Amino acid sequence: MSSIAALAEILRSNLEQNLADPEAFEIERELQEDAIEPIPDLGFPVALPDLNPDGSTTPKP
Amino acid sequence: MIDWREELHPRARGRFAEKEAARATEALATLADVKNMREYRERASTHPIVREPTTPPPAGRPAYNPDIRRDDNDDGIADRSRVGLGGRDTVPPGEIPRLPNLTEHEREVESRFADAYERDPQAKVDAYRATVKNNVFNTDDAKMLSPDYNPPKEMGMSREEVNDLRSRNNVLVHQTANAIAKTAFLQRLDELPPGSSVLVTSGGCAAGKTYATGHIEQAKALESLVGATWDAAGEQNSTENPWILDECRARGLKPIFSFVDADPLARWSSDHPHGVIERAAGKGRMVDARLFADSYAEGAKNFAAFHAAHKDDPDVGFILIDVRTDPVVPRLLESFPEVALRTDADEIYAQASRIVDEKPGLNPAIRRGATVGRRIWGSP
């Protein structure tokens, strides 16, 4: 387990860097997440239904 | 077909906000003359979210509401947390646990993801594995497979609309996402040659676990040292560690368990740049206050028991990191931080809930994500 010390230092320094600049971390995470598409076969619509003024919705064909 | 009731249509953010604001105002009014936490707890149980009508799980499926301190094998580590699978469980075979006390709409969201997984688990695991970077496995990442959490791009939702969905639906897709990530992680372990190292990160919600594994370049450095990383969800309360140890030993792998110790209230506060509320404002995924509190109090107790039992095992490594200082200067620890064991889950739950109740301008989806546990598991 000689790599534990090296691993510990990587975790500690990553934490230090990302806590100091969380914005940069979150932007990169967001880019990664944006590249992921949800599973398509769950019965979720691909288009939002129209929202009527009274709060009801009209499904798109 | 989805019925976008209760102002849940993404373009009805204004209506949703109005309704939530009315609930928040009602809740705040009941707290006007509260003098102490005992009085706060009494009033918190009257929050309007508690009165919302609920829909049971599908027929024949009991609601999953385990005792989170139950420890059948007496190893000092609880068997289950309130969400996700049991610490030692994977599916298949089996079924995705269904939460208690969900509204009809919430039940729909839960069922859509869970039913799809149960119909064809491996397809969902394959879809998740195609998204995994640097062999870091993570329940939150698997939530991206749910359209209720990560709507299709063709729908054209704005970042704010997507964040609202994530804050509202986070807990509803957690069970299935945990099942997907655990199964995918096991399949990765099957691919590793004996002797490989496996990293596990534990700690409370938003303690900094994911910051520790780092973004892509930092994670590449990790990947050169470990064959796989399990970036545990704080909500699992460190209940998965015995399972991971057993699975690693069965394959001749060498697990290294890390624990990030943070101050829970600093991590909850919206005034803290790394806090849960702040994070949700930027990217959604609001954590419920009940689960947040458990993740620090129960998670620390479970990890401490695991650490005490295995710290001298030659095939197991531990890394303990303290991030409690203000300003934060992460430092490695030689022993498990006793301060973490003094965290009281019910006290943190009450304090975190009160912060949300007394913050009138909070984003309504974040407020809902933070307080939905009062209906699901009970008030502070």
pLDDT tens, residue by residue, B330-353: 999 999 999 999 999 999 999 999
d(CA B131, CA B124): 11
Chain B residues with CB-CB distance to A24 below 8 A? 215
- The count of residues in chain A is 61
Q: Considering only the beta carbons, identify the residue of B145, B210, B330 that sits closest to A38.
A: B145
Q: Do B145 and A36 touch (CB under 8 A)?
A: yes
pLDDT confidence tier of residue A1, bands split at 50, 70 and 90: very low
d(CA B166, CA A29): 15
The pTM assigned to this predicted structure is 0.93
For residues B13 and B330, is the Cβ–Cβ distance under 8 A?
Answer: no
Looking at residue B33, what is its pLDDT? 84
- The count of residues in chain B is 380
Report chain B's mean pLDDT, rounded to a whole number: 90
Q: How far, in Å, are B66, B86, B245, B273, B354 from residue B268 at the CA level?
A: 25, 25, 30, 10, 11
Question: Which residue of chain B has the CA closest to A16?
Answer: B330
Name the amino acid, one letter, at B211.
Answer: Y
Q: What is the ipTM of this complex?
A: 0.87
Which tens digit of pLDDT belongs to each residue from A25-34?
Answer: 888 888 888 8
Looking at residue B359, what is its pLDDT? 84
d(CA B193, CA B189): 9
Looking at residue B138, what is its pLDDT? 94
Residue B236 distance to chain A (closest CA, Å): 21
A26 touches chain B (CB under 8 A): yes
Instruction: Give B159-223 as a DSSP string.
Output: HHHHHHHHHHHGGGTHHHHHHHHHHHHHHHHHHSPTT-EEEEEEESTTSSHHHHH-SHHHHHHHH
Chain B residues with CB-CB distance to A3 below 8 A? 197, 225
Report the residue of A15, A56, A58, A60 to disrupt the B interface, i.e. the one with the largest count of B CBs within 10 Å. Answer: A15
d(CA B366, CA B117): 27
Q: Do A46 and B152 touch (CB under 8 A)?
A: yes
Looking at residue B83, what is its pLDDT? 97
Q: Please check the confidence at residue B160 and state whether its pLDDT lies above 90.
A: no
Instruction: Taking residues B258-272, report their average pLDDT.
Output: 88
Tokens of B379: 């008030």
d(CA B279, CA B287): 10
Q: Do A11 and B113 touch (CB under 8 A)?
A: no
Instruction: Taking residues B166-185, report their average pLDDT.
Output: 95
Q: Considering only the beta carbons, identify the residue of A39, A48, A55 that sits closest to B155.
A: A48
Question: Which residue of chain B has the CA closest to A17?
Answer: B211
Residue B183 distance to chain A (closest CA, Å): 17
**Chain centre distance of CA B354:** 20
Q: Do A1 and B9 touch (CB under 8 A)?
A: no
Tokens of B148: 């209720």
Q: Please check the confidence at residue A43 and state whether its pLDDT lies above 90.
A: no
Looking at residue B328, what is its pLDDT? 83
Tell me which of A44 and A4 has the higher pLDDT: A4
Question: Which residue of chain B has the CA closest to A4?
Answer: B317
Share of chain A above pLDDT 70, in %: 64
Burial of B296-328, coded b for 16+ CB within 10 Å and e otherwise, reads: bbbbbbbbbbbbebbeeeeebbbbbbbbbeeeb
Work out the number of other CB atoms within 10 angstroms of the CB of residue A60.
10
Strand partners, B137: B230
Looking at residue B12, what is its pLDDT? 67
Place of tokens 């691993």: A7
Looking at residue B224, what is its pLDDT? 86
Looking at residue A47, what is its pLDDT? 65
Q: Do B319 and A36 touch (CB under 8 A)?
A: no
Q: Please check the confidence at residue A49 and state whether its pLDDT lies above 70.
A: no
Q: Considering only the beta carbons, identify the residue of A11, A33, A48 that sits closest to B212.
A: A11
d(CA A17, CA B212): 9
For residues B178 and B83, is the Cβ–Cβ distance under 8 A?
Answer: yes
pLDDT confidence tier of residue B1, bands split at 50, 70 and 90: very low
Q: At what angle do helices B364-371 and B345-357 cross, to 10 degrees?
A: 160
Q: Do B12 and A51 touch (CB under 8 A)?
A: yes
Order of all β-strands in the sheet with B136-138: B136-138, B228-231, B197-203, B254-261, B317-322, B331-333
Place of tokens 């796989």: B228
Q: Do B215 and A48 touch (CB under 8 A)?
A: no
Chain B residues with CB-CB distance to A25 below 8 A? 211, 214-215
DSSP B255: E
Q: Are strands B254-261 and B317-322 parallel, antiparallel or unpaired?
A: parallel
For residues B202 and B238, is the Cβ–Cβ distance under 8 A?
Answer: yes
Which tens digit of pLDDT belongs to each residue from B178-199?
Answer: 999 999 999 999 999 999 999 9
Instruction: Taking residues B225-244, report their average pLDDT.
Output: 97
Looking at residue B363, what is its pLDDT? 87
Instruction: Taking residues B270-278, report their average pLDDT.
Output: 73
A21 touches chain B (CB under 8 A): no
Which tens digit of pLDDT belongs to each residue from B109-159?
Answer: 999 999 999 999 999 999 999 999 999 999 999 999 999 999 888 888 888
Q: Considering only the beta carbons, identify the residue of B10, B152, B213 that sits closest to A37.
A: B152
